[in-house]
Amino acid sequence: MSQINQKLQNNYDPLEVAAPISGFFLYQDNVVPFLRLKISQRNRSWIFEKWWQQKHFKRQIGSANLIGVSEARLRAFEWARMLEEGNLPPTIKERGQRAARQRVAVETLFTEYLEQHVKLRCRTANEIEKDFGRYWNSIKKAQVLSLTSSQVRQWMNKIAQESGHATANKQLALLRASLKWACAGGAIQMHGNPLLGIKAFPSQLRITYLHPGNEVSRLAMALEKEHQDIQDVIWMLLWTGQRRNNVLSMQWIEIDWQNKIWHIPPYKTKSARQYSIALTPKAMEILERRKENGGTFVFSCNRTATGYISHINRAWLRIRRAAGLEHLRLHDLRHTTASWLALQGASSMVIKEALQHQSISTSQRYVHLVAGDVRDMMAKAQQAIAG
């Protein structure tokens, strides 16, 4: 194994870690033991290094200028899982000849990102592809390594003027994601970041959630017409407040029956750390009933490649139409759990722990949301009293 110069401290910034005067330093991540940060005067890169089958296995993950700590940890966990399954993470040669890829155009890069990543993982791939054709004309012919902050800023301003701040922010996030993907996969190596210093436009936060009472009753009635598996998935999303992919891929081995805790492993979570979710009586009721089905997954399905129910978009479209809740997205069930907690007087810290938010500010927005509901209810009450 490579000699480690130092172990990194909590909450470090890879761009602020000191570089040596000459040569390079190799730092070990404080959370993932097989993740390294290699730093020299010119470069900062993430390295995956692990003993595997009594051999020293080492791969470069990508540039620390574009890949943050959370994403690097997630990639390291993914590669560790690949090794455990007997699959080798791709080498630089397998990812393409780097020298030839330095002249790649934005359009070419985005097309590969779309085909090799987005269409395999994202349910909104068609919408993203349409957005590229609609908004990227002014930069799609530019070479990726020649792209400047000025070009990106002009492109953003144009989209904002024509289609609004939210659309501009969405395209900026998409550009950032495609560049990160290319760097992490070794397709390109960027020494400068054209997105550095470019901030998203301020936009008004909009949270949609299921209101207690009539809307919940309508949802319940619509669910009664669905297969029991679909009913259980939707209610589990609501009772746990967790993300769709985590709920769908829930495994029996992750359930602590004695303490009524659901342990979501790091490789499944957004922040690459284990989540421990307290299970309510209603959630436990679903698990107890489904335990008789056996198998590896709680929501097992022998008709999918994953082994569990992985596509519920059509069912959800049918359900929300039947319930007259066409504005409600599937992810809004997560917002609903947080909003209900806030309406019951839960603090920001309780909401943060329940939904495993990375930042307390994410949880605080639900507490602020309650003020509007309280104001509306008070207004109705006062109107009734005044006649």
User: In whole angstroms, what separates CA 261 from the centre of its chain?
Assistant: 22
Distance in Å from the first CA to the final CA of the chain: 79
Decide if 32 contacts 69 (C-beta within 8 A).
Answer: no
Average pLDDT over residues 199-217: 78
Using CA atoms, how far apart are residues 127 and 112, in angstroms rounded to an integer? 16
Domain formed by 98-184, architecture: Orthogonal Bundle (1.10)
Question: DSSP assignment of 243-274, as one string?
Answer: -HHHHHT-BGGGEETTTTEEEE-GGGSTTSS-
Q: Tell me which amino acid residue 82 is.
A: M
In tens, the pLDDT along 40-66 reads 988 899 999 988 877 888 888 888 888
Per residue in 115-166, pLDDT tens? 988 888 776 788 899 999 999 999 999 888 788 888 999 999 999 999 888 8
Please give the CATH number for the structural domain made up of 6-84: 3.30.160.390
Model pTM score:
0.52
Q: What is the CA radius of gyration of the chain?
A: 24
Question: Residue 23, exposed/middle/buried by CB under 10 A (0-12, 13-18, 19+)?
Answer: exposed
pLDDT number for residue 124: 73
Rounded to whole angstroms, the Cα distance separating 34 from 124 reads 33
Q: Choose between 366 and 319: higher pLDDT.
A: 319
Residue type, 324: G
Ranges of each domain in the chain: 6-84, 98-184, 214-386
pLDDT of 326-375, one tens digit each?
Answer: 889 898 998 888 888 887 777 788 878 888 877 777 777 676 655 555 55
The pLDDT, as a whole number, for residue 344 is 79
CATH architecture, domain 214-386: Orthogonal Bundle (1.10)
Closest CA to 68 of 108, 116, 121, 14: 14
